[in-house]
Amino acid sequence: MPVLPREVLSLFDEALVRETIPAERHVYYRKWLCYYLDFFATYRLNGADGKNLPAFLEKLREKNQSEYYRRQAAHAVTLYFAACLPTSHQPHPTETGPGSGNRGSGKSISPGNLPTENENPALSSKAKDKGRGNSASIAPGLETKQCVGGEGNPPPLKTRGADWKSVYSTLVSAVKVRHYSPKTLKAYKGWIHHFQNFVKSKDPELIELSDVKEFLSFLAVQRNVSASSQNQAFNALLFLFRHVLDKEFGKVEGVVRAKRKPYIPVVLSREEIDRVVMNAGYPYDLIIKLLYGCGLRLAECMNLRVQNFNFDFGILTVHDGKGGKDRTVPLPEALIPELKSQLETVIDLHQRDLKAGYTGVFLYGQLEQKYKNAARELVWQWFFPAKELTPVPGTKERRRYHLHDSQVQKAITGAVRRAKIPKRATAHTFRHSFASHLLQANYDIRTIREMLGHSDVRTTMIYTHTVRSRTVKEARSPLDF
Query: Average pLDDT, stretch 232-245?
Result: 91
Q: Give me the percent of the chain exceeding a pLDDT of 90.
A: 34
- DSSP track, 7-40: HHHHHHHHHHHHTT--GGGHHHHHHHHHHHHHHH
> CB–CB of 299/405 below 8 Å?
yes
Confidence (pLDDT) at 98: 39
- Report for 153-157, 223-227, 233-237, 317-321: range of highest mean pLDDT: 233-237
Q: Where are the domains of the chain?
A: 2-144, 165-244, 265-481
pLDDT digits (tens, 9 = 90+) for 31-59: 888 888 777 777 665 555 556 678 888 88
Query: Average pLDDT, stretch 428-445?
Result: 90
Q: Give the phi and the psi of residue 462 in degrees, each rounded to 5.
A: -60, -25
- pLDDT for residue 171 is more than 50: yes
- pLDDT for residue 337 is more than 70: yes
Residue with the larger pLDDT of the pair 435 and 321: 435
pLDDT digits (tens, 9 = 90+) for 270-312: 999 999 999 999 999 999 999 999 999 999 999 999 999 999 9
Confidence (pLDDT) at 133: 38
Annotated catalytic residues are 297, 322, 428, 431, 454, 463
* Cis omega (within 30 of 0) for bond into 283: yes
Homologous superfamily of 265-481 in CATH? Intergrase catalytic core (1.10.443.10)
Residue with the larger pLDDT of the pair 284 and 132: 284
Query: Average pLDDT, stretch 361-387?
Result: 86
CA atoms within 13 A on the CB side of 443: 18
Query: Average pLDDT, stretch 175-194?
Result: 90
Pick the range with the lowest mean pLDDT from 107-121, 262-276, 360-374, 420-434.
107-121
- pLDDT for residue 449 is more than 80: yes
Residues 6+ away with beta carbon under 8 Å from 194: 215, 233
- pLDDT for residue 261 is more than 90: no
Confidence (pLDDT) at 77: 83
Query: Average pLDDT, stretch 165-172?
Result: 90
- In angstroms, rounded to a whole number, what is the distance separating the alpha carbons of residues 57 and 74? 7
Q: Give the phi and the psi of residue 65 in degrees, each rounded to 5.
A: -75, 140
- pLDDT for residue 201 is more than 80: yes
Q: What is the pTM of this model?
A: 0.59
- Please state which of the four CATH numbers 3.30.56.10, 3.40.50.720, 3.50.50.60, 1.10.150.130 is assigned to the domain occupying 165-244: 1.10.150.130
Q: Identify the band that residue 123 occupies on the pLDDT scale cut at 50, 70 and 90.
A: very low
Query: Average pLDDT, stretch 8-33?
Result: 81
Confidence (pLDDT) at 120: 36
- In angstroms, rounded to a whole number, what is the distance separating the alpha carbons of residues 367 and 122? 56
Confidence (pLDDT) at 51: 63
Residue with the larger pLDDT of the pair 467 and 80: 80
Query: Average pLDDT, stretch 453-480?
Result: 69
Pick the range with the lowest mean pLDDT from 22-26, 172-176, 221-225, 441-445.
22-26
Confidence (pLDDT) at 156: 66
Q: Identify the band that residue 477 occupies on the pLDDT scale cut at 50, 70 and 90.
A: low
SS3 88: helix
